[in-house]
Amino acid sequence: MKIYTKTGDEGNTSLLFGEKVSKSDIRCEAYGMLDIVNSHLGMCRAITDNQFISSTILDIQNDIFTISTEVSVANKDHYKISKTNWGIEFVNEKSVIKLENLIDKIDKQVKLKPKFIFPGSNIQSAAIDLARAQTRSAERTLAKLNNYEKLINVNIIKYINRLSDLLFYLARIPENEKERKYFEPNK
């Protein structure tokens, strides 16, 4: 099987259940932004030597992949089919709470100084901050999708909003490690 199909040569693509749309459709823009987030997260995972950060990011990447699937479903009927037939655990309130719990856990150990933080104190934190900034862009695109009433699962926006906060805190861990203050994930 060849990787190129030539089906998008005229600027159109198909959503998950075959509905054809322009590649400039807001839905395509949204899952494209999520793909960029996932790629940035992959880079973060590849360059970190911190197991907590690595495993946390891998969990997030799985969620982002699922969210991208949700976003590429065109209507509620197809959404129900995909959830039932594929057995996918879509993002829900528990997913949001899980991120909040991680934020709270890191916040207890990573002491933030009362000043603005500029990305770039080391390669690991800078990469995570880049993923955070891209997550904020994806959030704005998902908000547009929601305004057009094309976002079926409103927990997606909540999840992405919390994710950018979590990434802010994850980026602080390598900075603290640089200062010899090691984050202990079990505390």
What is the CATH number for 160?
1.20.1200.10
**pLDDT computed for residue 178 by the predictor:** 60
Examine residue 129 and state whether it is found in any structural domain, yes or no: yes
Q: How many domains does the chain have?
A: 1
Burial 123-138 (b: 16+ CB within 10 A, else e): ebbbbbbbbbebbeeb
| pLDDT tens string 1-56 | 777 777 666 776 666 666 776 667 888 899 999 999 999 999 999 999 999 999 99
Q: Is residue 167 in a domain?
A: yes
- Backbone angles phi and psi of 158, in degrees to 5: -60, -45
Q: Which of 67-81, 114-128, 166-180 is least confident?
A: 67-81
For residue 118, is it within any domain?
Answer: yes
pLDDT of residue 180: 47
Residue 2 tokens, joined: 């060849």
Q: What is residue 74's predicted lDDT score, i.e. its pLDDT? A: 65
Q: Is residue 5 part of a domain?
A: no
Domain span at residue 148? 24-178
> Could you tell me the sign of the dihedral formed by the alpha carbons of 145, 39, 97, 174, in that order?
negative
| C-alpha separations of 7 from 4, 11, 14, 125, 158 in Å | 8, 9, 9, 40, 34
Residue 154 has pLDDT above 70, yes or no: yes
pTM reported for the whole predicted model: 0.86
Q: Are 35 and 68 in contact (CB under 8 A)?
A: yes
Give 89-130 pLDDT, tens digit per residue.
888 999 999 999 999 999 998 877 777 888 888 999 999 999
Residue 183 lies in a domain: no
